[in-house]
Amino acid sequence: MIQLPLLPLLHCLGCSAWLLLLAGPIASSASPADDSARRGDSSSSGSDEVQRQPHDSSYGTFASEFYDLRYLSEEGYPFPTAPPVDPFAKIKVDDCGKTKGCFRYGKPGCTAETCDYFLSYRMIGADVEFELSADTDGWVAVGFSSDKKMGGDDVMACVHDDNGRVRIQHFYNVGQWAKEIQRNPARDEEGIFENNRVTCRFKRPVNVPRDETIVDLHLSWYYLFAWGPAIQGSITRHDIDSPPTSERVVSIYKYEDIFMPSAAYQTFSSPFCLLLIVALTFYLLMGTP
Q: Going edge to edge, which strands form the sheet with 117-124?
A: 187-194, 197-205, 127-134, 117-124, 101-106, 257-261
Rounded to two decimals, what is the model's pTM? Answer: 0.64
Which of 51-55, 78-82, 237-241 has the largest mean confidence? 237-241
Task: Please give the Cα distance from 87 to 97 (Å, whole number).
Answer: 26
The count of other CB atoms within 10 Å of the CB of residue 128 is: 19
- pLDDT band with cut points at 50, 70 and 90 for residue 99: very high
Tens digits of per-residue pLDDT, 185-235? 999 999 999 999 999 999 999 988 777 889 999 999 999 999 999 887 788
Domains of the chain: 101-265 (2.60.40)
**What average pLDDT does the chain have?**
76
Pick the range with the lowest mean pLDDT from 36-40, 89-93, 137-141, 223-227.
36-40
- pLDDT band with cut points at 50, 70 and 90 for residue 93: very high
Percent of the chain whose pLDDT exceeds 70: 62
pLDDT at 175: 77
Does pLDDT of 143 surpass 60? yes
Give buried/exposed letters for 81-113 (b at 16+ CB in 10 A, else e). eeeeeeeeeebebeebeeebbbbbbbeeebbbe
pLDDT at 90: 93
pLDDT at 86: 62
Does pLDDT of 138 surpass 90? yes
Does pLDDT of 262 surpass 60? yes
CA angle 203, 208, 211 (to 5 degrees): 120
What lies within 8 Å, CB to CB, of 96 at 6+ separation is: 102, 104, 120, 255, 257
- Smallest Cα–Cα separation from 222: which of 202, 247, 255? 247
pLDDT at 87: 82
Tens digits of per-residue pLDDT, 2-49? 444 444 433 444 444 433 434 444 444 444 445 444 444 444 444 444
pLDDT at 287: 61
What lies within 8 Å, CB to CB, of 89 at 6+ separation is: 201
Does pLDDT of 96 surpass 50? yes
> Do residues 173 and 247 touch, judged by C-beta distance below 8 A?
no
